[in-house]
Amino acid sequence: MPAALSVENSPRVAASVRPAQLPDWALPAFPAGLVWEGGSVWSPPDFTWSMDAEARVNLTASTRSGGGAGVSRHFEGLLAAALDAAGVNRAAPALVLDLRSGDGVRSVGPWLNLLPQAGVVASDLSTMLLASVTSLARELMAEDRVMGVLAEADRVPVAAGSVDLVSGVGCLHEMDDPDLVLAAAARALRPGGHAIFLAPFDGHGVLRLAYERICAEAPLWPDVPLSPDVAGALRTLIDDLAKRTLPDRADPVFAQLDQKWLFSRESLEAGARALGFLDVAFVPHNDHETLYRDVAGLQVRSVTGRDDATLPRWALDVLDSFDRALRPPVKRLLMLEGTVILRR
């Protein structure tokens, strides 16, 4: 029988640890066992749980979920490109540790398709999301290749040097201290193993400049004004990008941000090498001719919540001027979004 969930904030007792119930492929990563919560979900022996904490985690779980087959295919393409850049043999057996897995659509599902011989440890603090991961694996007829662990990204208790691949699709930029996640990944990986993280970068500063210019020029176009909701969306985006560029962790606002960081290549590479990663590579996601125009449209629609929200012609001309000024090779250096590939 599964270990009962406690409504108190107290750790499990050692008698609840049952390593024999773990999948055979996961035993090397968890030689001391885990507490079985039910189904395909486990937790560390010292994991604490309360109804209030569970409610808070599940309330915000939607930020790590959502999207159908199209979203999954998009992320599968990004992760496939990362595997190719890293030179990973997709046909080889592997143990994958996925951090902040959410409902698995963006990471677990793609890994199951891309690595047919891999077992995937999906980790998250939300029981609701880990249940969704199990359902997804069942739909893909790969339930025996997935297990869930209730743990934050930097606290999954895998044995040192036991994992072939660590991944985080929505992870580093949401953490108070991303270096703790990189350190945990470095410890978990075997020599020669890889960590793959998808992250936003400080190339968003270009969009911030464009948005500030649009807001500054708006009074010059009284006959073609920004609609109030679009103007508000631009101000919200400017403020958000400013907060996530070299954020002040001591600022109380920082703790409330869901997405906390826009990374620089230099800071990530320096941190990774200090933690023992031998190689650091970056794969930009976009570099096309109309990048800033297209991303601005997506962001404005997202913030306003309106699919029909548009920028006036003169504002699009501003964005086009930034697109013309920075050619694709420069856009690759000034990434908006990219993949970080680390080799242990």
235-265 per-residue burial string, b: 16 or more CB within 10 A, e: under 16? eebbebbebbeebeeeeeeeeebeebbbbbb
Residue 18: per-residue pLDDT = 57
Tokens 């999207």: give the residue: 67
User: What is the pTM assigned to this prediction?
Assistant: 0.92
Where, residue-wise, is CATH 3.40.50.150 in the chain?
51-200
3-state secondary structure of 97: strand
Kind of pairing between the strands at 94-98 and 35-38: unpaired
| For the chain, counts of helices (H) and of strands (E) | 12, 9
Q: What is the Cβ-side half-sphere exposure of residue 266, based on CA atoms within 13 angstroms?
A: 4
pLDDT tens over the chain, length 344 residues: 233 333 334 444 443 555 558 999 999 999 989 999 888 999 998 888 777 877 778 777 777 787 788 999 999 999 999 999 999 999 999 999 999 999 999 999 999 999 999 999 999 999 999 999 999 999 999 999 999 999 999 999 999 999 999 999 989 999 999 999 999 999 999 999 999 999 999 999 999 999 999 999 999 999 999 999 999 999 999 999 999 999 999 999 898 898 999 999 999 999 999 999 999 999 999 999 999 999 999 999 999 999 999 999 999 999 999 999 999 999 999 999 999 999 99
Amino acid, single-letter form, for residue 321: S
Residue 131 near residue 42 (C-beta atoms within 8 A):
no
Residue 53 near residue 79 (C-beta atoms within 8 A):
no
CA distance linking residue 150 with residue 43, whole number of Å: 5
Name the token pair of 255: 């703790």
Question: 321 CB contacts (<8 Å, ≥6 apart)?
Answer: none
Residue 231 near residue 304 (C-beta atoms within 8 A):
no
- CATH fold for domain 51-200: Rossmann fold (3.40.50)
CA-based end-to-end distance of the chain: 39
